Structure 1
Amino acid sequence: MATLFAHFAASVGHSVRPLESTLRRLETSRKWRIGASLAGPGVNLEALETAIAKKDSDAVKATLDQLNVAGWAKKWSSQPYVSRRMTSLRELTTLGIKNAENLANPSVRNDAALLFTILGATGFLAVIAGHLPGDWGFFVPYLIGSIPLMVLALGSISPGLLQAAISGFSSFFPDHRERIARHEAAHFLVAYLIGLPILHYSLDIGKEHVNLGDERLQKLLYSGSLDDKELDRLAVVSMAGLAAEGLKYDKVLGQSADLFTLQRFINRSKPSLSKDQQQNLTRWAVLFAASLLKNNRRAHEALISTMSSKGTVIDCIKAIENSSQSGDAGRKEAER
């Protein structure tokens, strides 16, 4: 009887296995087709476009998570875990940051350039006006000479207007637009790698920004209850622009806004940090961000090009992912 039962069970098993195998193959084939359709050139990003257009950060994250599982958005949230540690200036220098000891010192290049231009121009005009006939030769140079004082007075009364003038004047420097693109692309890329959705960005002079969207983080910011984990993530994104400039240029020009943003995050965190802890957080965040940028140099350069061409957020995401895929293909080809 036992033998008969065993034979019956075995016969049932043999009849069921082909059916199960066929079903598994069909399911695998269906999943492969879905993954291939999303990972190929004809990837469907309509849901992502809709979520970004609606400024729905939760929907953006959910859609990117789905694209990641499907095998397309491989770079999305590929660096979700960051952990602060003690960091020295030597480590920044070793990584390739130029003049690491001066990163936190605001650059006065643009300010000085505007001031000397105003002084030079008004001085030249005052000399010419001094040759005017009669009393005009006295009053006109006097009025022209007061222009620098008026500019300084405007700066003390309305610093925002003076800063806008400095930003506009900075556009005459040949490296200014490239700096802005490199700076903002770094914020965009590092946020994407860490898993923070981007809803908008701008490279317009005086309005440079990358708009992150994360409702949960916004609630923590408003309540002043950022924990160490979230503070570390935001710190890395905040210092990404500074890190990008530090890797490329001898002097960093866009660090003031980044440091101000980081300080705002620190002020909204619990427990509060001492001055030494804040300094270490800043150094570590620069180091971590710079490491991500160096390890994803191809994606960063592709993103700089796309943002400089005023591509959409979707275009920027495509640039990141396509550069990743082309890099993988290149490595596989080299291995062969």
Structure 2
Amino acid sequence: MWSLSYHSQKYFCHGIVISSSSEIGISRRQALSQVDKELAKGDDKAALSLVKDLQGKPGGLRCFGAARQVPQRLYTLDELKLNGIEPVSLLSPVDATLGSIERNLQLASLVGGFAAWKVFEFNPQQVLFLSLGILFLWTLDLVSFNGGVGSLVLDTIGHTFSQKYHDRVIQHEAGHFLIAYLVGILPKGYTLSSLEALKKEGSLNVQAGTAFVDNEFLEEVNAGKVSATTLNRFSCIALAGVATEYLLFGYAEGGLDDINKVARTKLAEAMSMGTSVGSCIDIIEDAVKDADI
């Protein structure tokens, strides 16, 4: 718990002392380092408790849960267009990059198969058996791994050969991370590729994504009473990645400067280097402090 001594001007949070303004940055990083340790142990509640103790306190976390949602309003497609938003690009995103890579792989497979047929002089029966073998593996992937192997291959090639795709995935996850933090949901980890997710989670069915400390949400779900406030917060988080991509790559003319002010660019750079959750939070807080928002 926090306590304040007006004589010593020191603040205490779980044994961590925050003193003068010159020590605020270091002390906050110490607290966030402890948050990382609790998340690494799988103790989400302890990590969330630490963050809430720092929330809104002098030298603590200014931004956690500080965002306020605007009143809900239904917009028509025409109204979106009048505001410079192309509904198809925002509401029906299509991954053209991976689609192009998949088509090129299919074409390369056909060319490679034809070349192998000519070089090794396969007879029709061998070609049939080879085709059936490939079809079997493809079906096995779909049935057993829900297409996870194919997705892993495509995603890995995309990150390796397409800088645009690589950057877009990072910005997308940074959008989820940032908005979650601002509306008061603690991120507990993230992955930026299917291969990274496989290494961390040991599953082919897990792709790039950001995980959150959602105990309170699950409690409401289990009780059968999800509040409108909770639903709105998680809806914002779910749509944050798409909205970030649209602002960055969909030719949006407004709002980008506001996002940059609250650390999305620096956050994405940090996430691309695999920075810990606590360090990412520290970057957000520092950026807001420097911008004096």
* TM value normalised by structure 1: 0.65
Count of residues in Structure 1 that have an aligned counterpart in Structure 2: 263
The match for 1:153 is 139
The answer on 1:177 being equivalent to 2:166 is yes
The match for 2:209 is 209
| Structure 1 residue 244: Cα displacement | 0.6
Question: How many Å separate the matches in 1 of 2:137 and 2:105?
Answer: 9
The match for 2:14 is none
Q: Which of residues 308, 315, 336 is equivalent to 2:272?
A: 308
Question: How many Å separate the matches in 1 of 2:129 and 2:32?
Answer: 58
User: Residues 96-149 of structure 1, C-alpha deviation per residue, up to 9 Å, x if partnerless?
Assistant: 65x322434352535533442343223323332343476x35455555666775
Q: Which of residues 260, 264, 282 is equivalent to 1:297?
A: 260
Question: How many Å separate the matches in 2 of 1:80 and 1:165?
Answer: 40
Which protein has the bigger helix share? Answer: 1
CA contact (8 A) 1:84 1:232 kept: no
* TM value normalised by structure 2: 0.73
Tell me, which stretches of 5 or more residues in structure 1 are unaligned? Answer: 1-25, 252-289, 332-336
Question: How many Å separate the matches in 1 of 2:270 and 2:141?
Answer: 35
The match for 1:107 is 94
3-state SS of 1:296 partner: helix
3-state SS of 2:275 partner: coil
Give the alignment of 1:233-252 within 5 angstroms.
233-250=233-250
User: Residues 238-285 of structure 1, C-alpha deviation per residue, up to 9 Å, x if partnerless?
Assistant: 10001011112249xxxxxxxxxxxxxxxxxxxxxxxxxxxxxxxxxx
The match for 1:190 is 179
RMSD: 3.4
The match for 2:222 is 222
| Counterpart residue type for residue 125 of structure 1 | G
The match for 2:9 is 30
CA contact (8 A) 1:103 1:246 kept: yes
3-state SS of 1:210 partner: strand
| Structure 1 residue 214: Cα displacement | 3.4
Give the alignment of 1:3-14 within 5 angstroms.
none
Tell me, which stretches of 5 or more residues in structure 2 are unaligned? Answer: 12-16, 198-207
Change (3 A) 1:39 1:57: farther
Question: How many Å separate the matches in 2 of 1:215 and 1:84?
Answer: 25
Question: How many Å separate the matches in 2 of 1:89 and 1:75?
Answer: 33
| Counterpart residue type for residue 199 of structure 1 | K
Q: Which of residues 110, 113, 123 is equivalent to 2:110?
A: 123
Change (3 A) 1:170 1:247: same
Change (3 A) 1:92 1:308: farther
Q: Which of residues 54, 62, 66 is equivalent to 1:74?
A: 62
3-state SS of 2:147 partner: helix
Change (3 A) 1:84 1:141: same
| Structure 1 residue 210: Cα displacement | 1.5
Identify the range of structure 1 (146-155 vs 53-62) with the bigger mean alpha-carbon deviation. 146-155
Give the alignment of 1:319-334 within 5 angstroms.
319-328=283-292
Calculate percent identity across the aligned residue pairs.
Answer: 22
| Counterpart residue type for residue 157 of structure 1 | V
User: Residues 43-74 of structure 1, C-alpha deviation per residue, up to 9 Å, x if partnerless?
Assistant: 24434432442234444444334432114422
| Structure 1 residue 228: Cα displacement | 1.3
Larger radius of gyration: 1
The answer on 1:43 being equivalent to 2:54 is no
